[in-house]
Amino acid sequence: MMNDLKIDNLFLSGPSPAVLIVMAAGEEETSEKDHITNVLSSSLNSDYALFVFQVKDWNKDLSPWEAPPVFGKEPFGCGAEQTLSDILRYIDDSRAAVPSLNDIPIILCGYSLAGLFALWSAYQTERFSGIAAVSPSVWFPGWAKYTASHSVHTRCIYLSLGDKEAKTRNPVMATVRDRIESCYASLSSENGMKTILEYNPGNHFQDAPGRLTKGILWTAHTILGE
């Protein structure tokens, strides 16, 4: 059964895209699509295609497994597997309908819990050439244990975090800097891995569109060799 995903129309910057960018997002990030496409169009040296997948139930559709509430009263669900399956199916259908999308690299990106979803997806499939996990929720319960016993199937991963994100009274979320640095160290030790960890000024809620675009650009430039 498919999750309740809202899929924006495919955006093509030109007739011959060199990379397909897939963004998992909530309503706020989806509303910034025009800003992101404008910056990408002026900063990438190649044509590109962009899908934006807006999830309806943030805590359920993007969570890899069930977990108790970390903030507020809403627990986390386990809908990530279905969301990933739905996205891959939609990509396959779109490639069948738009031949120019065939045989080009795919980047999956996301912010916050969607960033964790993008990173988790790298452990599930080889379909993505690159991952941009921007301010990912690597504090997620059980995440460190999971990554210690699993391997990624992607060779290009961008990580970033706000330099004030760990400054919170929430004891779980306060671990985010240690968690992402541990994740980066682990990824850096893998042969053939291209990865980077960047710190952006501010807390978790500052300039999400700008941070997302920055992560997408690094990943696209790295994959395309620009």
Q: Which CATH class is domain 5-224?
A: alpha beta
Q: What is the pLDDT of residue 70?
A: 92
What's the mean pLDDT in 74-86?
95
Question: Over the stretch 157-216, which tens digit does the pLDDT of each residue have?
Answer: 999 999 999 999 999 999 999 999 999 999 999 999 999 999 999 999 999 999 999 999
Confidence of residue 5 (pLDDT cuts 50, 70, 90): low
Q: Please report the DSSP string for 113-181 in residue order.
A: HHHHHHHHHTTT-S--SEEEEES--TTSTTHHHHHHT---S-SEEEEEEETTTT--S-TTGGGHHHHHH
Q: What is the pLDDT of residue 1?
A: 41
pTM, 2 dp: 0.94
Distance CA 26, CA 4 (A): 12
Q: What is the pLDDT of residue 147?
A: 95
User: Above 90 in pLDDT, residue 144?
Assistant: yes
Distance CA 120, CA 147 (A): 9
Q: Chain-wide mean pLDDT for the chain? A: 92
